[in-house]
Amino acid sequence: MARRVVDVLVPVALNQTYSYRVPDGVELNPGDVVSVPLGPRDVTAVVWADNPNPDPRLHNRLKDTGEKLDVPPLRPELRSFVDWVSNYTLSARGMVLRMTLRMGEHLGPERVRMGVRLVGAPPQRITIARRRLIDVLSDGLLHSKSDALREAGVSAGVIDGLVDEGTLVIEPLPRDLAPPAPDPSFAEPDFSPEQRIAADTMKELASKDGFQVALLDGVTGSGKTEVYFEAVAEAIRRGRQTMILMPEIALTGQFLDRFSMRFGVRPIEWHSELTPRTRARNWAAVAAGDAPVVVGARSALFLPYAKLGLIIVDEEHDQAYKQDEGAHYHARDMAVVRGSIAKIPVVLCSATPSVESEVNARKGRYKRVVLPSRFGGQHMPHIEAIDLKREGPTRGRFISPRLAEEIKIAVERKEQALLFLNRRGYAPLTLCRACGHRFACTICDAWLVDHRFRQRLVCHHCGFSMPRPHQCPHCGAEESLAAIGPGVERLQEEAANLFPDARTMVLSSDLITDIETMRSELNEIAEGRVDIIIGTQLVAKGHNFPRLNLVGVVDADLGLGNGDPRAAERTFQLLNQVIGRAGREQGRGVGYLQTHQPEHPVMKALVASDREAFYASEIEARERALYPPFGRLASLIISAGDRPTAEGFARKLASAAPLDERVQVLGPAEAPLAVIKGRYRFRILVKSVRGIDLSAYMREWLAAGPKTKGNLKLEVDIDPQSFL
């Protein structure tokens, strides 16, 4: 009798499933996680469907499935989600599946993990490696083997040797206990009347199943977090899991503390910085339903929740939600999709909603929940423009006299000031004053950025770096190199000159080695141990610095002129958010915008605190140009090791586009970032009316079009956020 056959989805860059035979005596159902042979290796994969009528000619050639893993099966709603995301983004289904299986190295049938403990005297023959390991274990406690090896920086053989000598013993580690559960009634806040209304709406929303999207729209400092915690509390009471997405893990430090003040314990975290062990433990807790609340980066979307009941997307407008490597997907949009498949409520949160969400709220597709004013009667910051054409700083300086004067006053009052500049490093360009030579990356179409703290010139696209030379490599002149333009490090230098007694701190992602350091630096600021903070967008978001009352935006125009259809929106959101850090707890916040274009609609809307004016003009402009959400966009990015190959392929591809009067194919054009890591890049932009299945159109096009070969690469980006 023929054995049962199942179709298995493997986590590799393929769309189709593979058929495998199920060995006798093994019970396998759709969703089960199994090990299967794939070529020369075994991979962890998922049974996607039964195959009741396998091709009899192939049957005997099929391989058997391997071990079934002792984890809960992936639920139908998660499998549908994987199918949906793959279908929409045109990413291989196996690659989307892979994001759900990132459970770390310890996945598998209940594996007992082994630990190691120091029990005897050191051996006669002592090596440096042995000494290091013994030092790590000197507390006499049981350490996990892998942790001890990592900490000591030695190989596993060192343990074996010391076990033979009787210095160490191996013992099983106790199993991890389930984390304590958050208590929905631990510390309920006193809400203001307007917060109360919003909080009740949140609670109501989370009190029942059914797909619904709410836009929690509240000014910075209005208490959005406290308010959506009421939805979380309700979900916990109902025994359902909540997923809270944050655009950046930098944000989670203060958040974890606030969560534990409200619920008594910290939530489970999910992001790329977790150790393999924590990752494995958290994945298992989510899958078993033992993690009532998960806070994470966009990848938390793909976790196998046992009983998901609520999704919250904090700072929903943030562009960090778009993943542009591997599978191109927008986590906010996919969160809404996941909510609709799972039939559960979704809360999108922002002080400056994306134009897409704003339009959805205006059209009634999303329920708008408003928090119109700051908590505790704090005023919104007062905003002024500083016209760099009239009152700019002297050459080579970047802080205008007026801004400097205001910072001086703030520091004297023992308040904090934030200088915001979205540019890492010391200077974006270095040139030779003698011959004009500019330092560029050898494999990217980009200048090298001077990083003084690291003493190197760095390419921000490929990571290439070199020491800053003393001599021009082009003309040989000595000490002729000049830094052009500012980065945060240079601003710190200027601030230190202007305010020699003030304590300054630079916060920039490249200076932060690990998340714990970043959290402790943010705490130092919150505790008032810094007078002047100089930061990139890392400080713009979400943080609460009680003594910060002044924000100076050093170059408000920086994001405007780059040909991106969302440039105005981004600038409005970012500046609103960074200035929103000011005056949250006491005193009046002020924001200064140093700009060359004080008449620009974005600057005018910010200065007038007229959000409506901004959305009205932006929505009208999008509607007129048929840009999202009134039309749809997709990008094709073609790259190759040489320019003619990339361009030739891009042209052939463009001419193979199916004719459809609802779709416009623009390009190919050389990408604004024409070369990255030695690869020449061309872009095709596809623009369509709103009501068409653009993914299907793209799929049909790519199926009929020329195929990539050699080192040609084609990336598909549906709903692109970046146009570089």
Q: Which residues bind ligand ADP (CB under 6 A)?
A: 189-191, 195, 218, 220-226, 375, 544, 584
Q: How far is CA 139 from CA 116, 135, 136, 148, 168, in A?
A: 12, 8, 8, 12, 12
**From ligand ADP, Zn ion, none, which one binds at residue 191 (CB under 5 to 8 Å depending on kind)?**
ligand ADP
- Whose Cβ is closer to ligand ADP: residue 310's or residue 657's? 310
**Total chain residues near Zn ion (CB under 5 A):** 6
Q: Left (φ > 0), alpha (ψ -120 to 50) or beta: where does 288 sit?
A: alpha
Q: In one letter, which amino acid is 637?
A: I
Q: In angstroms, what is the minimal distance from the CB of 446 to ligand ADP?
A: 35
Indicate the DSSP class of residue 489.
H
Region near Zn ion per CB under 5 A, out of 54-62, 85-93, 379-387, 463-471: 463-471
Q: Looking at 398-406, 443-451, 483-491, 654-662, which segment touches Zn ion (CB under 5 A)?
A: 443-451
Q: Which does 375 bind (CB under 5 to 8 A by kind): Zn ion, ligand ADP, none?
A: ligand ADP
**In this complex, which beta carbon is closest to Zn ion, that of residue 99 or of residue 458?**
458
Nearer to Zn ion by Cβ, of 127 and 442: the residue is: 442
Q: Which residue is nearest to ligand ADP (CB)?
A: 223
> What's the min distance (Å) between Cβ of 129 and ligand ADP?
49
- Residues 399-418: x/- map of binding to Zn ion (CB under 5 A)? --------------------
Distance CA 30, CA 37 (A): 18
Report the distance separating Cα 676 and Cα 637, nearest Å: 12
Rounded distance between C-alpha atoms, residue 216 and residue 204, angstroms: 14
Q: Does residue 449 belong to the site contacting Zn ion (CB under 5 A)?
A: no
Distance between CA 322 and CA 330 in Å, rounded?
4
Rounded Cα gap, residues 113 and 115, in angstroms: 7
CB of 370 to ligand ADP, least distance (A): 11
Instruction: Give the one entry of ligand ADP, Zn ion, none that residue 89 binds, where binding means its C-beta sits below a cut-off of 5 to 8 angstroms depending on kind.
Output: none
Least gap, CB of 679 to Zn ion (angstroms): 11
Q: Is 355 in the site for Zn ion (CB under 5 A)?
A: no
Kindly report the number of other CB atoms within 10 A of residue 624's CB atom. Answer: 9
Which of 451, 543 has the CB closer to ligand ADP?
543
Q: In this structure, are residues 615 and 568 in contact, taking their beta carbons and an 8 Å threshold?
A: no
461 binds, among Zn ion, ligand ADP, none (CB under 5 to 8 A by kind): Zn ion
Three-class DSSP labels, 618-658: HHHHHHHHCCCCCEEEEEEEEEECCHHHHHHHHHHHHHCCC
Given the complex with ligand ADP, which of 92 and 551 has the nearer CB atom? Answer: 551
From candidates 461, 474, 503, 643, binder to Zn ion by CB under 5 A: 461
**What separation in angstroms does the CA of 74 have from each of 80, 272, 276, 300?**
10, 22, 21, 15
Residue 254 touches which of Zn ion, ligand ADP, none (Cβ within 5-8 Å per kind): none
Distance CA 130, CA 134 (A): 6
- Which residue lies nearer to ligand ADP by CB, 233 or 675? 233
Contact of residue 87 among Zn ion, ligand ADP, none (CB under 5-8 Å per partner type): none
Q: Which does 489 bind (CB under 5 to 8 A by kind): ligand ADP, Zn ion, none?
A: none
Tell the smallest beta-carbon distance from residue 380 to ligand ADP (Å).
Answer: 11
Q: Are 609 and 380 in contact (CB under 8 A)?
A: yes
**Residue from 8, 9, 280, 441 in contact with Zn ion (CB under 5 A):** 441
User: Please, which residue, 80 or 544, has the CB nearer to ligand ADP?
Assistant: 544
The one among 14, 114, 462, 692 contacting Zn ion by CB under 5 A = 462
Which is nearer to ligand ADP, 490 or 541 (by Cβ)? Answer: 541
By CB under 5 A, tell whether 459 contacts Zn ion. Answer: yes
The token duo for 378 is 């704090």
Q: Is 444 in the site for Zn ion (CB under 5 A)?
A: yes
Nearer to ligand ADP, 223 or 559 (CB): 223
Residue 84 interacts with, from Zn ion, ligand ADP, none (CB under 5-8 Å by kind): none
**What 3-state DSSP class applies to 398?**
coil
User: Of these partners, ligand ADP, Zn ion, none, which one is at the site of residue 464 (CB under 5 to 8 Å by kind)?
Assistant: Zn ion
Query: In terms of Cα–Cα distance, which of 110, 114, 117 is closest to 134?
Result: 117
Among 464, 477, 565, 567, binds Zn ion (CB under 5 A): 464
Q: How far apart (Å, rounded) are the C-alpha atoms in residues 368 and 357?
A: 10
The one of Zn ion, ligand ADP, none whose footprint includes residue 465, by CB under 5 to 8 A per kind, is none
Segment contacting Zn ion (CB under 5 A): 159-167, 234-242, 272-280, 435-443? 435-443
Dmax over CA atoms of the chain, in Å, equals: 88
- CA atoms of 426 and 383, how far apart (whole Å): 27
Report the partner that residue 441 touches, choosing among Zn ion, ligand ADP, none (CB closer than 5 to 8 A by kind).
Zn ion
DSSP assignment string, 331-364: HHHHHHHHHHHHT-EEEEEESS--HHHHHHHHTT
Placement of tokens 């140093």 in the chain: 594
What does 222 bind: Zn ion, ligand ADP, none (CB cut-off 5 to 8 Å by kind)? ligand ADP
* Contacts made by residues 432-440, CB under 8 angstroms, sequence distance 24+: 432/472, 432/474, 432/475, 432/477, 432/480, 432/481, 432/482, 433/477, 433/480, 433/481, 433/482, 434/472, 434/475, 434/477, 434/480, 435/472, 435/474, 435/475, 435/477, 435/480, 437/472, 437/473, 437/474, 437/475
The amino acid at residue 603 is: M
Query: HSE on the CB side for 496, CA within 13 Å?
Result: 10
According to the binding rule CB under 5 A, does residue 211 interact with Zn ion?
A: no
What does 325 bind: Zn ion, ligand ADP, none (CB cut-off 5 to 8 Å by kind)? Answer: none
Question: Could you tell me whether strands 456-458 and 5-9 are parallel, antiparallel, or unpaired per DSSP bridges?
Answer: unpaired
Give the Cα separation of 622 and 690 in Å (integer): 12
Q: What minimum distance in Å lies between the beta carbon of 267 and ligand ADP?
A: 16
Q: Is the CB of 223 or the CB of 425 nearer to ligand ADP?
A: 223
Residue 280 token pair: 């494995």
φ/ψ bin of 315: left (φ > 0), alpha (ψ from -120 to 50), beta (otherwise): left
220 vs 549 by CB, closer to ligand ADP: 220
Cβ distance to ligand ADP smaller for residue 99 or 578: 578
Measured from the CB atom, is 219 or 294 closer to ligand ADP? 219
| Minimum CB distance to Zn ion, residue 458 (Å) | 9
Instruction: List contacts with Zn ion (CB under 5 A).
Output: 441, 444, 459, 461-462, 464
